[in-house]
């Protein structure tokens, strides 16, 4: 899951971004809407977390414009404006959820995950390929019924491979989906996580290398 966080308070932005990354999500961040608009123009996101009041105006106006242009990325507003009229204005502009400040960071993570699942609701909650099953709601993976102990990043990569089965997924696509924009495109982070997954998944190998393309899971 790749998330965009737009918040002008640097301390709060750091806390939100850190929590989402700790939960295994790839996160890009912006402190004002001009930067956020650029990020939305060049990246694909599963969800965006938006502060209402930014240095360049009320996000309600910007979100409404984006929705009119066809942007369907789920949006959660974080704001101290929690009067009924404020919430109504946010939802009418195209918000999918509303979390007033102050808030519990654990609740934010749960709500973001829920919005990401809603965005991908055409896919079943449990993906199965051969003896491998990936439960996107519970964030659990099993091989032949045995629960695997995976890091958030390992689960994210495995989820991306399983949901795209039987197609192969390129390294760049995995990097864009599971890491943020600060990841060095020349680094071997994808290969490292793939190697870790292969060890944990055991034999016979489930993840295949497709030369010149990337990786895919096999039905075994």
Look up residue 5 and give its two tokens. 């966080």
Give residue 81's pLDDT.
Answer: 77
Is there a contact between 159 and 198 (Cβ–Cβ < 8 Å)?
A: no
In what side-by-side order are the strands of the sheet with 26-30? Answer: 26-30, 2-6, 47-51, 75-79, 97-100
Sorted by where each starts, the structural domains of the chain and their CATH numbers stand as: 2-119 (3.40.50.2300), 126-217 (1.10.10.10)
Q: Which residue has the tokens 């991306």?
A: 160
Give residue 123's pLDDT.
Answer: 57
- Read off the pTM: 0.63
pLDDT of the chain along its 220 residues, tens only?
789 999 999 999 999 999 998 888 888 999 999 989 888 887 888 899 999 888 988 889 999 988 888 788 899 998 887 788 888 888 888 899 999 888 899 999 999 988 887 765 555 678 888 899 998 778 889 999 999 999 888 998 998 898 888 888 888 888 877 877 666 666 788 889 999 999 999 989 999 998 888 898 988 7
- Burial class, 64, CB count within 10 angstroms (exposed 0-12 / middle 13-18 / buried 19+): middle
């Amino acid at each position: 899951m790749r998330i965009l966080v737009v918040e002008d308070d640097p301390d709060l932005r750091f806390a939100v971004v850190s929590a989402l990354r700790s939960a295994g999500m790839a996160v890009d961040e912006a402190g004002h809407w001009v930067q956020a608009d650029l990020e939305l123009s060049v990246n694909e996101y599963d969800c965006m977390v938006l502060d209402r009041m930014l240095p360049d105006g009320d996000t309600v106006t910007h979100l409404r414009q984006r929705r009119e242009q066809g942007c369907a990325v789920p949006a959660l507003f974080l704001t101290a404006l929690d009067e009924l009229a404020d919430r109504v204005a946010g939802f009418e502009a195209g918000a999918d959820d509303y979390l007033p400040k102050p808030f519990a960071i654990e609740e934010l993570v749960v709500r973001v995950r829920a919005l990401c699942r809603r965005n991908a609701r055409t896919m079943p909650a449990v993906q199965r390929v051969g003896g491998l099953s990936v439960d996107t709601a519970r964030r659990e993976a099993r091989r032949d019924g045995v629960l695997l102990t995976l890091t958030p990043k390992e689960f994210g990569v495995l989820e991306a491979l399983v949901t795209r089965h039987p197609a192969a997924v390129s390294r760049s696509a995995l990097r864009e989906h599971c890491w943020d924009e600060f990841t060095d495109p020349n680094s071997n982070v994808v290969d490292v996580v793939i190697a870790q997954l292969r060890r944990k998944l055991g034999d016979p190998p489930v993840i295949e290398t497709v030369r010149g393309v990337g990786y895919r899971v096999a039905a075994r």
